[in-house]
Amino acid sequence: MVREFSFSFSFGFRKIQKNDLSYQEPRSRLIYQTIVIILLTTTIIGLQVMRLVQLQLIQGEQNRERAENNRIRPIPVPSNRGLILDRHGKPFASNRLARSIYLWPKEQPKEQWKIIAAKLSPIINIPEDKILEKVEQAISSGERNVHLTYEVTRDTFVILQERAGEFPGVEVRAESTRYYPNGQLASHIIGYLGEVTPEELEASPEYQLRMMVGRIGVEASANDILAGKWGQRLIEVNAKNREIGIFEEEKPIGGKTVKLTLDLDLQKIAEKALGFRKGAVVVLDVNTGEVLAMASYPRFNPNVFTKPMPEKKWRSLHSEEQSFVNRALQGYPPGSTFKMVTSAAAMGSGKFSPYSFIQTSDSIYVGGIRFNEHSGGYGVIGFRSALAYSSNTFFYRVGMSIGQEQIAKWAYQLGLGGKNLNFLGIPTTYNGLIPTEEDKRQIYNDAWYLGDTITMAIGQGLVLATPLELAAATAAIANGGKQIKPHLFADETDSPDMQPVPTGLKREYVNMIREGMIDVVDYGTARSLNDGTIPLTGGKTGTSELIGEKSHSLYVGFGPAYESKIAIAVIVENGGYGSVSAAPVAQQVFKTYFDKYN
Distances (CA, A) of 341 to 82, 406, 467, 470: 41, 10, 14, 10
Task: Give the type of residue at 216.
Answer: I
Report the interhelical angle of 507-522 vs 467-478 (nearest 10°).
110
Rounded to whole angstroms, the Cα distance separating 157 from 381 reads 76
3 state SS of 559:
strand
Q: Which CATH class is domain 71-190+227-259?
A: alpha beta
DSSP 533: S
What's the pLDDT score for residue 8? 42
- b (16+ CB within 10 A) / e for 191-200: bbbbbbeeee
Tens-of-pLDDT digits for all 598 residues of the chain? 444 444 444 444 444 444 554 555 666 777 777 777 777 777 777 677 666 665 565 555 555 554 544 566 677 777 889 999 999 999 999 998 888 888 888 778 888 888 888 888 888 888 888 888 888 887 777 677 777 877 788 888 888 888 888 888 888 887 788 999 999 999 999 999 988 888 888 888 778 777 889 988 999 999 999 998 888 767 676 655 555 666 667 788 889 999 999 999 999 999 999 999 999 999 999 999 999 999 999 999 999 888 766 666 666 666 665 688 899 999 999 999 999 999 999 999 999 999 999 999 999 999 889 999 988 889 999 999 999 999 999 999 999 999 999 999 999 999 998 765 556 656 555 678 999 999 899 988 999 999 999 999 999 999 999 999 999 999 999 999 999 999 999 999 999 999 999 999 999 999 999 999 999 999 999 999 999 999 999 999 999 988 889 999 999 999 999 999 999 999 999 999 999 999 999 999 999 999 998 7
Based on its alpha-carbon atoms, the radius of gyration of the chain, rounded to whole angstroms, reads 39
Contacts 24+ apart (CB under 8 A), 248-252: 250/77, 251/77, 252/77, 252/78, 252/79, 252/80, 252/228
What's the pLDDT score for residue 566? 98
What's the pLDDT score for residue 104? 81
What's the pLDDT score for residue 51? 62
Handedness of CA 454, 458, 464, 470 (dihedral sign): positive
What's the pLDDT score for residue 18? 47
What's the pLDDT score for residue 546? 86
Residue of 165, 217, 166, 211 lying closest to 191 (CA atoms): 217
Task: Give the type of residue at 212.
Answer: M
What's the pLDDT score for residue 1? 41
CB–CB of 339/389 below 8 Å?
A: no
Rounded to whole angstroms, the Cα distance separating 565 from 535 reads 12
Q: Where are the alpha helices (DSSP H) in 125-222?
A: 128-141, 154-162, 187-190, 198-203, 217-221
Same fold, 71-190+227-259 and 264-597: no
Report the interhelical angle of 110-124 vs 154-162 (nearest 10°).
140
Rounded to whole angstroms, the Cα distance separating 186 from 301 reads 9
CB–CB of 328/294 below 8 Å?
A: yes
The structure's pTM equals 0.81
CB–CB of 266/284 below 8 Å?
A: no
DSSP 3-state helix, strand, coil percentages of the chain (rounded to 5)? 40, 20, 35
Total count of residues recorded for the chain = 598
The helix (run of H) or strand (run of E) holding residue 391 is none
Beta strand 258-259 with 84-85 is parallel
What's the pLDDT score for residue 43? 77
- Domain boundaries, given as residue ranges, for the chain: 21-57, 71-190+227-259, 264-597
Q: Where are the alpha helices (DSSP H) in 223-285?
A: 223-227, 264-274
Rounded to whole angstroms, the Cα distance separating 419 from 228 reads 31
DSSP 577: S
- b (16+ CB within 10 A) / e for 145-174: bbbbbeebeeebeeebeeebeebbbbbbbe
Distances (CA, A) of 590 to 11, 292, 328: 113, 12, 18
CA-based diameter of the chain, in Å? 155
Phi–psi pair at 592, nearest 5 degrees: -60, -40
Q: Does domain 264-597 have CATH number 3.40.710.10?
A: yes
Phi–psi pair at 490, nearest 5 degrees: -60, -35
DSSP 104-140: -GGGS-HHHHHHHHHHHHHHHT--HHHHHHHHHHHHH
Rounded to whole angstroms, the Cα distance separating 150 from 114 reads 22
Report the interhelical angle of 339-348 vs 467-478 (nearest 10°).
50
